[in-house]
Every structure is written in structure tokens, then in C-alpha cells.
């Protein structure tokens, strides 16, 4: 098969230009992260000399030690990120599991067990996706106080479950409506009930959208600062609040190496989630996008 050499050359040139532009954009996007990592391994003497791009002459782990654990800075003791990191794990894991499971049940009901007013219920639930955080701070604080869980890890879990439920329901419902309803009808003819159909038929088919919801919720809960600083006390503050405390606790000269190390520690879980499961997130978003 003969091909036009000019057209082939244009295709190669266009692809090379595209890759070059994408490479430049990737470098531009990742350069701040690279500078953060390099700075975290520098000593303050090197930083004062203004060596931002050069590789450190000696890898210094003091900044990471100070950022992670409690350290003695002069005459005062400074709290590291370790307790905040643990709090974030205690908040994020239950909140992600509960909101994802409840979203799966809601999506299952709204797709296959519709009831009178289900569309209105779904529309009102979706309203939560567009409700700004600031609009519910005062009423939600009142609710947490009446429930007796204000300023606790339990209260933060409850907050993230409630706020994340609208998103997880939307994801699951939009995925489940692409599944053939004949599966449910056949299972009902065989005598399967509501929960048996859900656990043994629907949930095993939900792996792509489960991955999406877990990654989405994990990122949202872990990176949250507003709820963490508003609805917590010093014993239940998440890592984002701890990072803010670490950065603002410096007196006198700013310790850029400690700040950068703390920022990387706080961001590491979400970075690992996207590096390990990022391709599954994209696949899950596109799964079920075309019915049939």
C-alpha cells in the first residue's frame, strides 16, 4: 500500500511537536515538586546560599525528622506531623468505606428499585454536590454539638460521610443504569431478594466504579482542611491542619526544608494512590459510559 511521503512526514512532525509540548508542560508541572523534594534534603546553610536547583552536597534528613516527630527547637518543644497523620488515617479510612458502601446501596436502589419520588430524591441529593462547604459550617456545627461528637474523630468521619454521600451516589447510580435490568429480573425469578442481588450480583460487577469512588473520596477526605480546622480539637486535627500548624509555628527565620518535608509527608498518601491506581481511576470513569 503506497502512502504519501509528505503526509507521513507531517504526521510524524505533528506527533513530535505534540510530545514536545506535553513534555514541557509535564516538566513545568512537576518542577515545583522536584524543588520541594530537593529542598527538604538541604540544610538551612545551603538554602541561605540560594542554591535552589543544584543537587544537595549532602543529604540531610534532619528536616524530615523534625517534620515527622516532636523535636526540641531551642528552648521549646515542637510537635511533628505524626499524630496528625494518624488522625487522618483514622478519619479517612472509615469515612471512605462507609460513604462508598452507602453510595453503592443508594445507586442500586435508584437504578433498579425505583419508588415514587425517587427522581426528586435523587435531584435533592445531587444538590449536595454543588453546596459550598462554607454554607453548612454553622448548622453542621450545631448538629455535631447536639449529637455530642463535636471536636472528635467520630464527628469528622460523620461529616465526610454525609458530604461525600452525594458524590458516591451519583457515581454509582450513573454506572448502574448502564447495567442490563434483565440481571435483576432473572435473579428475582430465581427467588433472590434485595440484599442477595446486591451482594452477589451487583457489587461484583462494580469494581471499576468502586475504584473511582475510593480514590475520589480518599483524596477529598485526606486533603480537606476546612472541616478539619472547624470541627476538630487539638487531639483530633488531621494532617492538613497539622501542616498548617507546623509552617506557622516557626519563629524568626523560616525553615524551608522542614516546611517542604512536611508538605511532602502530608501529600504522600494521595500521591501514592494516584501513582498506583491512577489508570484504574480513568478506566472506572469511562466504564459504563456507553450503554449496550
Question: What is the per-residue pLDDT across 180-212, written as a single tens digit (0 to 9) for each?
Answer: 888 888 998 888 899 999 999 999 999 889 999
Distance CA 264, CA 37 (A): 7
Domain membership flag for residue 71: no
What residues does 151 pair with on adjacent strands?
232
Residue 75 has pLDDT above 70, yes or no: no
Q: Does residue 77 sit within a domain? A: no
| pLDDT higher than threshold 60 for residue 145 | yes
Other beta carbons within 10 Å of 163: 22
147 and 195 in a single domain? The answer is: yes
* 68: in domain: no
For residues 52 and 225, the model is more confident at 225
Q: Are residues 181 and 47 in the same domain?
A: no
In a domain, 221, yes or no: yes
Residues 54 and 88 grouped into a single domain? no
Cα 58 to its chain centre, rounded Å, is: 34
> Is residue 106 within 8 Å of 173, Cβ to Cβ?
yes
Average pLDDT over residues 25-51: 84
Structurally, the chain folds into a number of domains equal to 2
d(CA 47, CA 35): 12
287 or 81, which is more confident?
Answer: 81
Q: Looking at the structure, do residues 101 and 232 belong to the same domain, yes or no?
A: yes
Position 3 scores a pLDDT of: 58
More confident site: 104 or 282:
104
CB 198 within 8 A of CB 180: no
Which residue from 63, 51, 57 is spatially nearest to 261, judged by alpha carbons?
Answer: 63
Kindly state whether residues 106 and 24 are assigned to the same domain.
no
pLDDT tens for each residue of 153-179: 999 999 999 999 999 999 999 899 888
pLDDT level of residue 262 (50, 70, 90 thresholds): very high
The verdict on residue 66 lying in a domain is no
pLDDT of residue 78: 63
The verdict on residue 106 lying in a domain is: yes
- Asked if residue 132 belongs to a domain, the reply is yes
In a domain, residue 263? The reply is yes
Question: Do 14 and 53 have their domain in common?
Answer: yes
Q: Percentage of the chain surpassing pLDDT 70?
A: 90
Which residue range(s) make up the domain with 23? Answer: 5-60
- pLDDT (tens digit, 9 = 90+) per residue, 205-257? 998 899 999 999 999 999 999 999 999 998 899 999 999 988 887 666 678 88
- Calculate mean pLDDT across residues 44-55: 72
Both 134 and 54 in a single domain? no
Mean pLDDT of the chain: 86
pLDDT at 20: 93
Same domain, residue pair 42 and 127: no
In this prediction, residue 148 carries a pLDDT of 93
Amino acid at each position: 500500500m503506497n502512502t504519501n511521503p509528505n503526509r507521513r512526514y507531517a504526521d510524524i512532525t505533528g506527533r513530535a511537536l505534540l510530545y514536545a509540548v506535553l513534555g514541557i508542560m509535564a516538566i513545568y508541572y512537576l518542577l515545583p515538586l522536584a524543588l520541594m523534594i530537593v529542598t527538604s534534603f538541604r540544610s538551612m546553610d545551603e538554602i541561605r546560599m540560594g542554591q535552589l536547583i543544584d543537587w544537595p552536597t549532602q543529604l540531610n534528613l534532619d528536616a524530615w525528622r523534625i517534620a515527622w516527630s516532636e523535636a526540641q527547637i531551642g528552648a521549646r518543644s515542637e510537635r511533628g506531623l505524626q499524630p496528625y497523620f494518624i488522625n487522618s488515617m483514622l478519619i479517612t479510612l472509615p469515612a471512605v468505606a462507609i460513604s462508598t458502601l452507602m453510595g453503592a446501596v443508594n445507586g442500586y436502589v435508584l437504578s433498579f428499585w425505583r419508588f415514587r419520588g425517587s427522581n426528586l430524591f435523587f435531584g435533592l441529593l445531587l444538590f449536595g454536590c454543588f453546596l459550598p462547604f462554607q454554607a453548612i459550617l454553622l448548622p453542621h456545627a450545631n448538629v455535631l454539638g447536639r449529637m455530642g461528637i463535636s471536636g472528635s474523630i467520630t464527628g469528622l468521619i460523620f461529616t465526610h460521610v454525609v458530604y461525600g454521600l452525594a458524590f458516591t451516589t451519583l457515581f454509582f447510580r450513573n454506572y448502574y443504569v448502564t447495567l442490563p435490568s434483565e440481571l435483576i429480573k432473572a435473579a428475582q425469578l430465581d427467588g433472590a431478594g434485595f440484599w442477595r442481588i446486591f451482594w452477589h450480583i451487583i457489587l461484583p460487577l462494580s469494581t471499576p466504579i468502586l475504584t473511582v469512588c475510593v480514590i475520589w473520596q480518599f483524596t477529598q477526605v485526606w486533603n480537606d482542611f476546612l472541616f478539619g480546622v472547624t470541627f476538630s480539637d487539638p487531639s483530633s486535627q488531621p494532617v492538613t491542619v497539622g501542616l498548617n500548624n507546623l509552617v506557622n509555628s516557626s519563629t524568626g527565620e523560616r525553615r524551608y526544608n522542614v516546611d517542604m518535608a512536611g508538605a511532602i509527608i502530608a501529600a504522600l498518601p494521595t500521591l501514592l494512590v494516584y501513582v498506583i491506581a491512577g489508570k484504574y481511576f480513568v478506566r472506572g470513569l469511562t466504564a459504563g459510559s456507553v450503554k449496550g
